């Protein structure tokens, strides 16, 4: 065998060995990426389980689970993205054109997906700041109802009529939470202008004490009835206002029962509950005018 043949054979063997080594490195990168992702995700899961085991609040446990899912997803995306770049570099593919094209595409996608990104960021802060829980009754702008589901993308509400509202987190500018800590059942009651004012207020106070003594409602009312007094003068009524401090989401049930009992108490005391009335004044008959010729 000539020297030229030996050199060609050695060169072919070297190229074959280099190809095998490159393929081996690609496999090692993929395997290492899979191991790193598995280890990091398992670590995040264990940390989340340890934190959740120390939390007594069910909603806090759900928030921890949501954060755990987000972190596991981010870890997987970052690690596999780096692994892909290493594989491409190992295969001899230049990354500069790819990164340049990805930058242009990323800018275009970013402009088109601004609302989606805003949804995720707002959803993350809603969870971090603990503004909404599943099971709360909230008002989000024009939408109100019971929170059935909350994700990083949207909040799902069900209103009193049973209608389901999907509110994107990016559209939430204010949150009115009606089920946090405690609530107030505010009661406005109108009485006629001729009704005895002090007696009506005393009837409201007595009815409130009876309601609080009822076992079915006593646990829902957290404090005594606060008689505010005369709230305003309407066209046909004097409006009296009072309120109860109640457990979360119990304000509507307490208010309805109080109004039912108060109607019976007013009827028994002869206190008139007004309704719109119209008084019509009719002029008397016109006097006859007699004219005479002079």
Distance in angstroms (rounded) separating the CA atoms of residues 200 and 272 = 9
Q: Is the pLDDT of residue 30 over 90?
A: no
Instruction: Delimit the domains of the chain by residue range.
Output: 9-112, 132-177, 183-269
Could you tell me if 145 and 159 are in contact, meaning their C-beta atoms sit under 8 angstroms apart? Answer: yes
Q: Which CATH code, of 3.40.50.300, 3.40.50.620, 3.40.50.12780, 3.30.70.100, is assigned to 183-269?
A: 3.30.70.100
Please report the pLDDT score of residue 293 as a whole number: 42
Which of 46-60, 82-96, 165-179, 277-291 is least confident? 277-291
3-state secondary structure of 187: strand
Instruction: Give backbone dihedrals phi and psi of 108, rounded to 5 degrees, phi first.
Output: -65, -45
pLDDT band at 291 (very low <50, low <70, confident <90, very high): very low
SS (H, E, C) 189-252: EEECCCCCHHHHHHHHHHHHHHHHHCHHHHCCECCCCEEEEEEEECCCCEEEEEEEEECCCCHH
Q: Is the pLDDT of residue 51 over 50?
A: yes
Q: What is the mean pLDDT of residues 70-99?
A: 77
Please report the pLDDT score of residue 211 as a whole number: 93
Please report the pLDDT score of residue 166 as a whole number: 93
CB 57: neighbour CB atoms within 10 A?
11
Predicted TM-score of the model (pTM): 0.60
To 10 degrees, what angle do helices 114-128 and 95-112 make? 80
> Average pLDDT of the chain?
81
State the fold for domain 9-112: Helix Hairpins (1.10.287)
More reliable by pLDDT, 22 or 167: 167
Which of 10-24, 34-48, 121-135, 157-171 is least confident? 10-24
pLDDT band at 286 (very low <50, low <70, confident <90, very high): low
Q: Is the pLDDT of residue 132 over 80?
A: yes
State the fold for domain 132-177: SH3 type barrels. (2.30.30)
228-281 pLDDT per residue, tens? 999 999 888 999 999 999 998 899 999 999 999 999 999 998 998 887 666 677
């Amino acid at each position: 065998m000539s020297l030229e043949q030996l050199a060609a054979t050695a060169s072919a063997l070297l190229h074959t060995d280099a190809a095998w080594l490159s393929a081996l490195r690609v496999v090692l990168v993929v395997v290492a990426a899979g191991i790193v992702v598995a280890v990091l995700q398992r670590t995040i899961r264990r940390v989340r389980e340890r934190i959740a085991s120390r939390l007594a609040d069910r909603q806090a446990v759900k928030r921890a689970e949501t954060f755990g899912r987000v972190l596991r997803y981010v870890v997987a995306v970052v690690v596999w993205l780096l692994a892909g770049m290493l594989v491409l570099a190992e295969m001899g593919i230049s990354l500069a054109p790819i990164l340049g094209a990805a930058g242009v595409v990323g800018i275009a996608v970013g402009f088109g997906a601004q609302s989606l990104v805003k949804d995720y960021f707002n959803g993350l802060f809603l969870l971090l700041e603990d503004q909404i829980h599943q099971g709360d009754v909230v008002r989000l702008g024009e939408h109100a109802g019971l929170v059935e589901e909350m994700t990083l993308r949207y909040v799902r509400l069900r209103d009193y009529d049973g209608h389901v509202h999907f509110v994107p987190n990016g559209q939430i500018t204010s949150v009115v939470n009606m089920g946090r800590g405690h609530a107030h059942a505010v009661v406005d009651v109108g009485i006629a202008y001729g009704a005895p004012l002090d007696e009506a207020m005393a009837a409201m106070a007595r009815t409130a004490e009876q309601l609080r003594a009822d076992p079915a409602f006593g646990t829902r009312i957290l404090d005594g009835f606060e008689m505010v007094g005369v709230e305003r003068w309407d066209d046909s009524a004097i409006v009296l206002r009072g309120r109860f401090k109640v457990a979360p989401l119990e304000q509507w049930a307490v208010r309805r029962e109080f109004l039912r009992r108060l109607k019976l108490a007013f009827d028994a005391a002869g206190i008139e509950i007004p309704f719109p009335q119209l008084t019509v004044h009719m002029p008397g008959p016109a006097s006859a005018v007699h004219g005479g010729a002079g």
